[in-house]
Chain A
Amino acid sequence: MVDILIFTDALITSSILTLLTLGLTLTYLTTKVPNFAHGTFASVGIYVGLTVSKIFHQSIYYGMLPGFILGGLVAVIQYIAFLRPMTKRNASTTTLMVATIAFDIFLIAILNIIADYIQIGFHVESRYFILSNLDFFVFGTRGIILVAPILVIAVVVSLFLLLNKTKFGIAMRATIENPLLAGTVGINTDLVYIVSWFIAGGLAGMVGSITTLWYIGNTNVGSDIFLISIFAASVTGGIYNVYGAVVGGFVIGVTQSVIIRQLAGIVGAWIIPYQPLIPLIAMVVTLLISPSGIMGVDLKAIRKRLAREADAR
């Protein structure tokens, strides 16, 4: 029996993970570099949420919009100030990856300085805090349980509409497919990159601002706890597919929270601390078996091969 708490935990984990993974996949598709600072964009959101709820004494959900804007701006700064000049100088993938790590270190330092400032200046607990008591209740259930999945649906639908129904979205897809060719037909590829980074950082900042309703917030949460799950979800779902992020996010989210508890029931509670290993295992297994992820599995080819084998028999 899956108990209701496990179910809600799985739902919220998966929703948060999906939104974060969508952003990572989007930046990976455009810039072709895994952004190691993506988790920290969520940490930026976490402190926006803290500021809105504890310093301005507003509902933490109002932090979502400033979270989106600030997260997006940070991502755009990362792209324009650091990644774009490096790409123009023909930097290798490794150099770009190191640059994202460096930006991550830089960003975490700034967040820590802000956290110290909040702690000293406003006497608000800014480390290892949880804001679950600030949530609203609908028919006895916590607000976040409804908000998180609704947010995922809204984001996925609007992303789908953006990519398929608008001119800019089609330009985005063209740029992802072939930036040079898109440039020759007059698409401003640089603008497309900037918008993708803004959306990616924005989604992370938005979701970050409400994660502290369910998780403990700290400056290193994004890079130490979320980042590897995001990579795992992105790779498992298929890093070459935006919707793969949704699949990956839910697969990793559900495995992470359901399977470990089921296993704990069988082998004992000692296994629960090893939860962070699950996304890692999922990622390594996916990379070694099917590097293009779940969405990259070519079902048609498999069906054809099965049919051929059946005929041969």
Chain B
Amino acid sequence: MLDSTGLFVLNLLASLAPFLIVTVSLNLEYGYAGIPNFGKTLAVAGGAFVAGVIPGRFLAFLFGIGKNLSYIDDNKQIVSAINRQLVTDPVLSIGIIILTLIMAVLIGALLGLLIAYPVARLRTDYLGMTFLAFGQVILVIGNNFPPLVGGTLGVSVPDPFAFVSVYSIFDLLPGEMRNLFVITFMSIVALLVFLFARRLTRSPLGRVLRAIRDDENSALALGKDVQRNRIIIMIFSSAIAALAGALYAMYTANVFSTTYSRTTWTFWPWVMVILGGAANDLGIVSGTFIFVAVRQIISYYREFFEPILPFNIVWLDTLLLGLALLFILIYRPEGLIREKPIKTIKIESLSVEESKKASIKQTSGFREELKKIIETLLKLPKKKETEEI
């Protein structure tokens, strides 16, 4: 059995992990590329819908369940039959997890390509409106097209994590064991995504994007393909966001299109990014953490607040949220932690003088320094050649 502290931490991580993935993705778009994506929920819902559509039907076909039943109308029956078989088959379960995530990433990338089309053509303010509209489209379709995710009634998602509940450590209940495993898995994926984005933004692509964000014309003048780079980042970030949607859907084991509302999956990530500081890895992690933690604490002390306030406490939550965001935007628009210039390996190694000094001072890193100096010396003559031409 988990005690209340354990439960608190677990719940915190459960919302931290998917939101961290979404904020990382939004940070790529807004922080590094300056694209105002107010339709973040499109990619997230896209990923979740993949989890709602594909694994269930695939498994029903594989196990031969519900041949005479409609997948949507008899959803509960079919999914519980699938779960009964899936529990005994860890290999297939893991295969399903991987398959769903890969499909979600692909669909996310496709959606990113779709919404990248206006990015290349419209100015910031029009772009914001268009993204908002795109975010709404998927919700309208999800709500009204039952074959997708059952319309407003939602669908259940087969639980590929259920096999863990057979094993038990620390005297945990089967359900808790399952949740512990899913949340650990989500956290690991979030960490991987975070490291990937960190690597991506330190790559030449990241530098080009920042250049485009700060001054499109100078980037153009330096021969950078502005539109192509923007499209690439939209594809990457949408794929990442879809991952979050799919993970969240598998964790909650169901998909309701109303869950993927504009407020939750577009505006909250925006608040997190702006609170922490755009284009700063540490910033967005702290922003996401603060946001999730504050909400968690408020809901934890719900019983305490409820008799005092003459209204539902949810509104106090959103009221403080909106107000906090407004004051941050006025008094500290760069967020809690400012964007810092990123030092890349190449720039360090290019300054020969400095690396020589460093090599004298630090004898321990002598070999690396020597290697760097040789590398730079090898590069320098090449540069001269090009200049002569």
* A89 vs B327: C-alpha distance when bound (angstroms): 13
Residue of A whose beta carbon sits closest to that of B320: A109
Q: Are B326 and A99 in contact (CB under 8 A)?
A: yes
* A212 vs B36: C-alpha distance when bound (angstroms): 33
Q: Are A98 and B132 in contact (CB under 8 A)?
A: no
Residue of A whose beta carbon sits closest to that of B318: A109
- Residue A287, interface by CB 8 Å: yes
Q: In the complex, what residues of A have CB within 8 A of residue B271's CB?
A: 102
Residues from 105 to 138 in A contacting B, C-beta threshold 8 Å: 105-110, 112-113, 116-117, 120-121
Partner of A112, one of B126, B128, B311: B311
Main secondary structure of the interface of B (DSSP, over half): helix
- Residue A195, interface by CB 8 Å: no
Quote the shortest CB–CB distance from B234 to chain A (angstroms): 16
- Residue B118, interface by CB 8 Å: yes
Quote the shortest CB–CB distance from B26 to chain A (angstroms): 11
Quote the shortest CB–CB distance from A250 to chain B (angstroms): 20
Q: In the complex, what residues of B have CB within 8 A of residue A120's CB?
A: 310-311
Q: Are A103 and B322 in contact (CB under 8 A)?
A: yes
* A121 vs B310: C-alpha distance when bound (angstroms): 9
- Residue B66, interface by CB 8 Å: no
Quote the shortest CB–CB distance from A126 to chain B (angstroms): 11
Q: Are A106 and B133 in contact (CB under 8 A)?
A: no
- Residue B342, interface by CB 8 Å: no
Given contacts A36-B132, A235-B129, contact A116 B315 (CB under 8 A): yes
Binds A, one of B86-94, B137-145, B194-202, B297-305: B137-145
Binds B, one of A49-57, A143-151, A171-179, A269-277: A269-277
Q: Are A34 and B333 in contact (CB under 8 A)?
A: no
Q: Are A284 and B322 in contact (CB under 8 A)?
A: no
* A113 vs B133: C-alpha distance when bound (angstroms): 28
Quote the shortest CB–CB distance from A23 to chain B (angstroms): 16
Q: Are B267 and A105 in contact (CB under 8 A)?
A: yes
Given contacts A94-B30, A101-B38, A102-B329, contact A117 B311 (CB under 8 A): yes
- Taken residue by residue from 325 to 362, chain B's Cβ proximity to chain A (1 for < 8 Å, 0 otherwise) reads as 11001100100000000000000000000000000000
Given contacts A34-B128, A94-B30, A284-B133, contact A116 B310 (CB under 8 A): yes
Quote the shortest CB–CB distance from B75 to chain A (angstroms): 20
Q: In the complex, what residues of B have CB within 8 A of residue A274's CB?
A: 140-141, 144
How many residues from A make CB contacts under 8 Å with B? 49
Given contacts A94-B128, A99-B329, A228-B133, contact A291 B122 (CB under 8 A): yes
Q: In the complex, what residues of B have CB within 8 A of residue A283's CB?
A: 129-130, 133
Q: Are B136 and A276 in contact (CB under 8 A)?
A: yes
Scoring A36, A109, A273 by chain B CB atoms within 10 A of each residue's CB, the highest score goes to A109
Residues from 276 to 303 in A contacting B, C-beta threshold 8 Å: 276-277, 280, 283-284, 287-288, 291
Given contacts A86-B330, A105-B322, contact A116 B312 (CB under 8 A): yes
Residues from 256 to 284 in B contacting A, C-beta threshold 8 Å: 262-263, 267, 270-271, 274
Residues from 74 to 103 in A contacting B, C-beta threshold 8 Å: 82, 85-86, 89, 91-95, 97-99, 101-103
Q: Are B325 and A98 in contact (CB under 8 A)?
A: yes
Q: In the complex, what residues of B have CB within 8 A of residue A85's CB?
A: 330
Q: In the complex, what residues of B have CB within 8 A of residue A28's CB?
A: 125
Residue of B whose beta carbon sits closest to that of A276: B140
Q: Are B329 and A231 in contact (CB under 8 A)?
A: no
Given contacts A109-B319, A116-B312, contact A291 B326 (CB under 8 A): no
Main secondary structure of the interface of A (DSSP, over half): helix
- Residue B67, interface by CB 8 Å: no
Q: In the complex, what residues of B have CB within 8 A of residue A231's CB?
A: 129, 132-133
Q: In the complex, what residues of B have CB within 8 A of residue A163's CB?
A: none
- Residue B34, interface by CB 8 Å: yes
Quote the shortest CB–CB distance from B279 to chain A (angstroms): 13
Q: Are B36 and A94 in contact (CB under 8 A)?
A: yes
Q: In the complex, what residues of B have CB within 8 A of residue A291's CB?
A: 122, 126
- Residue A65, interface by CB 8 Å: no
Quote the shortest CB–CB distance from B53 to chain A (angstroms): 19
- Residue A32, interface by CB 8 Å: yes
* A91 vs B36: C-alpha distance when bound (angstroms): 14
Residue of B whose beta carbon sits closest to that of A232: B133
Q: In the complex, what residues of B have CB within 8 A of residue A110's CB?
A: 315, 319
Q: In the complex, what residues of A have CB within 8 A of residue B325's CB?
A: 98-99, 102, 105
Given contacts A95-B333, A113-B311, contact A106 B322 (CB under 8 A): yes
- Residue B121, interface by CB 8 Å: yes
* A291 vs B126: C-alpha distance when bound (angstroms): 9
Given contacts A117-B310, A228-B133, contact A102 B330 (CB under 8 A): no
Q: In the complex, what residues of A have CB within 8 A of residue B130's CB?
A: 283-284, 287
Quote the shortest CB–CB distance from A58 to chain B (angstroms): 25
Q: In the complex, what residues of B have CB within 8 A of residue A106's CB?
A: 318-319, 321-323, 326
Residue of B whose beta carbon sits closest to that of A106: B322
- Residue A258, interface by CB 8 Å: no
Q: Are B315 and A112 in contact (CB under 8 A)?
A: yes
* A102 vs B330: C-alpha distance when bound (angstroms): 12
Given contacts A34-B129, A113-B311, contact A102 B137 (CB under 8 A): no
- Residue A33, interface by CB 8 Å: yes
* A280 vs B131: C-alpha distance when bound (angstroms): 10
Residues from 187 to 231 in A contacting B, C-beta threshold 8 Å: 224, 227-228, 231
Q: Are A34 and B125 in contact (CB under 8 A)?
A: yes
- Residue B124, interface by CB 8 Å: yes
Q: In the complex, what residues of A have CB within 8 A of residue B329's CB?
A: 82, 86, 91, 95, 98-99, 102
Q: In the complex, what residues of A have CB within 8 A of residue B333's CB?
A: 86, 89, 91, 95
Q: In the complex, what residues of B have CB within 8 A of residue A104's CB?
A: 322
Quote the shortest CB–CB distance from B272 to chain A (angstroms): 12
Residue of A whose beta carbon sits closest to that of B34: A94
Quote the shortest CB–CB distance from A167 to chain B (angstroms): 30
Quote the shortest CB–CB distance from A125 to chain B (angstroms): 16
Quote the shortest CB–CB distance from B121 to chain A (angstroms): 7
Report, nearest first, the 8 A-B pairs whose CB atoms are least far apart. A106-B322, A109-B319, A105-B322, A116-B311, A273-B144, A102-B325, A109-B318, A112-B315
Q: List 7 A-B contacts (CB under 8 A).
A: A36-B132, A86-B329, A101-B38, A106-B323, A109-B317, A277-B141, A283-B129
Q: A109-B316, A227-B132 are in contact. List 9 more A-B contacts (CB 8 A).
A: A93-B36, A94-B30, A101-B267, A109-B322, A112-B315, A117-B310, A277-B141, A283-B129, A283-B130
